[in-house]
Structures are given as structure tokens and as C-alpha cells.
């Protein structure tokens, strides 16, 4: 199955362009730029009036706020991610286009807080159907919990002998997500390499870019959490 693969690099650290101006460091690349999607977009967190400390405090409840740019100099905004609500382990986000139009909504329901034992992600593109995905497969979660006493040994071994994109190896909790809608799998997040595979051609690339940025913000070492 051919798909457009989205990969996120970098974070909100300051990158100087040599002229005293900062550039956006976070980038989402697209493997297939032959369609309407660009080759890459640039993502950075949007800070509230209280600055970084206020953003970091709000993100503890699940809130996020991102700007997506066409280039790293912020000359053209292509999308914005805003938090509609974040409480009780359930966070709802809205993805807006360059002119404020609603591209879609993304909902994260934390494990044991929402409607199941696994973290649930719901993707709803405007004018389309909902796609629902759960973090990890049940069988892998059971194996992970059963092996938890041995995880310290696995962690030491994989730190010594790990490969890029697979740090922590077996010691890392299951993270793969497969979204389903109408019997199809339009989206799939693969933990190896932290890549989002967009299988359905009808998925708006702005929604995909927002989704990979959100997913990476909820992982260990989240790109938007640094001071």
C-alpha cells in the first residue's frame, strides 16, 4: 500500500539565521510531495501571554498550541492547532487553516481516563467520517505488563545497544496506533522512526502534520516541553 509518510524533526530551540532573527526548528517532512502536500512544513509552539512557563504549566493538563508555517522564516502560516478543551485526561484540539477555516478536530483520551484501557485518538476531518485509533495492541500491552519486572534489565541493554528511532527497545511501552474508519485504515503511526503513514489520499495534509506534531508532543522527551 503506497502512503505519504510524515516525519517530524527538531524542536523549539532557537536557530539563528545569521541576521539576528530566529528560525523555526521543528519540521514535518512529507515523503510524497507530488500531490497537494508540500515537501515540508515548519511547526512551533505558540506561547500564551505568560510565555514559556505559562505554556509548560498548561500543557500539564493536555493543552497544546502550535503554528504551522510554509517556511522556517514564518512568512506564510498554513495552519494552526488550538486546544478546545483539556480536562480529566481528555483533550480536544482543532486544526484551523490559513484563513481560520476548520480543517478538522483531534481528540486524545488518556488511558483509564476516557473510554478504554488504552489511550484513544480520534481524528475527524471536516466533512468526513471519524477515524479512531488506540495506542498499542492489547496483546503487546499484556506482554509489556507481564515483563515489567524485567524492564530494568531490558532498559540497560537497549541503552548500550540501541539503534536510532528505536531507543529503549523492549523497555518502551507499545506506541503503535492504527486508525480505522468504515473498515479502512486511513492512518497509521509506527513507533519505529516515529512516522505517521497516511494511507488514504483524501486525508488533508494539514491535519496529518498537526497529528504528528501532537503525537510527538505526548511522547517522552516531547519537542514542545523544553524551556
Q: Residue 119, Cα to own-chain centre: how many angstroms? A: 13
| 213 vs 84: CA distance, rounded Å | 17
Question: Which tens digit of pLDDT belongs to each residue from 152-177?
Answer: 555 544 443 433 333 344 445 567 89
The pTM (predicted TM-score) of the whole model is: 0.83
Read off the C-alpha cell for 73.
522564516
Read off the C-alpha cell for 184.
479502512
Q: Residue 125, Cα to own-chain centre: how many angstroms? A: 16
Question: Which tens digit of pLDDT belongs to each residue from 108-158?
Answer: 999 876 566 789 999 999 999 899 999 876 554 455 445 556 555 555 444
**3-state SS, residue 19:** coil
Amino acid at each position: 500500500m503506497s502512503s505519504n509518510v510524515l516525519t517530524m524533526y527538531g524542536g523549539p530551540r532557537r536557530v539563528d539565521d545569521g541576521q539576528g532573527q530566529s528560525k523555526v526548528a521543528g519540521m514535518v517532512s512529507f515523503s510524497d510531495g507530488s500531490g497537494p502536500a508540500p515537501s515540508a512544513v515548519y511547526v512551533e509552539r505558540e506561547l500564551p501571554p505568560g510565555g514559556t512557563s505559562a505554556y509548560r504549566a498548561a500543557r500539564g493538563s493536555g493543552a497544546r498550541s502550535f503554528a504551522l508555517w510554509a517556511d522556517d522564516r514564518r512568512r506564510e502560516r498554513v495552519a494552526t492547532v488550538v486546544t478546545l478543551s483539556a480536562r480529566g485526561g481528555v483533550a480536544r484540539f482543532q486544526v484551523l487553516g490559513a484563513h481560520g477555516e476548520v480543517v478538522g478536530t483531534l481528540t486524545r483520551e488518556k488511558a483509564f481516563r476516557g473510554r478504554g484501557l488504552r489511550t484513544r485518538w480520534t481524528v475527524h476531518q471536516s466533512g468526513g467520517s471519524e477515524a479512531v485509533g488506540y495506542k498499542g495492541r492489547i496483546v503487546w500491552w499484556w506482554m509489556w505488563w507481564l515483563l515489567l519486572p524485567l524492564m530494568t534489565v531490558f532498559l540497560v541493554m537497549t541503552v548500550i545497544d540501541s539503534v536510532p528511532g528505536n531507543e529503549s527497545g523492549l523497555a518502551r511501552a507499545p506506541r503503535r496506533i492504527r486508525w480505522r474508519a468504515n473498515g479502512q485504515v486511513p492512518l497509521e503511526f509506527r513507533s519505529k522512526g516515529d512516522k505517521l503513514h497516511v494511507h488514504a489520499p483524501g486525508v488533508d495534509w494539514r491535519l496529518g502534520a498537526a497529528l504528528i506534531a501532537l503525537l510527538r508532543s505526548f511522547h517522552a522527551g516531547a519537542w514542545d516541553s523544553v524551556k
